[in-house]
Amino acid sequence: MDINAEIKKAKTAMDIAVKHTLTEFNSLHTGKASPGMVENLSVEIYGSVSKLREISAITTPDVKTIQIQSWDKESVKAIEKAILAANLGVTPIVNGMIIRCVMPEMSRERRQELSKVANGMAEEGRVKVRSIRRDTIEIFKKAKKDGIISEDDLKRLEKDVQNITDAAIKEIDSSLNLKSSDLMKI
Contact 75, 45 (CB under 8 A): yes
Taken in order of first residue, the domains within the chain and their CATH numbers are: 3-26+107-184 (1.10.132.20), 35-102 (3.30.1360.40)
Reported as a single tens digit per residue, the pLDDT across 32-41 is 777 777 888 8
In the prediction, which pLDDT does 44 show? 85
Is the model's pLDDT at 13 over the cut of 80?
Answer: yes
Reported as a single tens digit per residue, the pLDDT across 110-169 is 778 888 888 989 999 999 999 999 999 999 999 999 989 899 999 999 999 999 999 999
Mean of the per-residue pLDDT values of the chain: 86
Q: How many CB atoms lie within 10 A of CB 55?
A: 17
User: What is the spatial distance between Cα 48 and Cα 57, in angstroms, rounded to a whole number?
Assistant: 19
Reported as a single tens digit per residue, the pLDDT across 55-72 is 888 888 888 888 989 888
In the prediction, which pLDDT does 170 show? 95
Q: Which residues contact 135 (CB under 8 A, 6 or more apart)?
A: 10
User: What is the spatial distance between Cα 35 and Cα 92, in angstroms, rounded to a whole number?
Assistant: 14
- Expressed in percent and rounded to 5, the helix, strand and coil fractions of the chain are 60, 15, 20
% of the chain surpassing 70 pLDDT:
97
Closest to 98 (Cα-Cα) out of 45, 40, 43, 58: 58
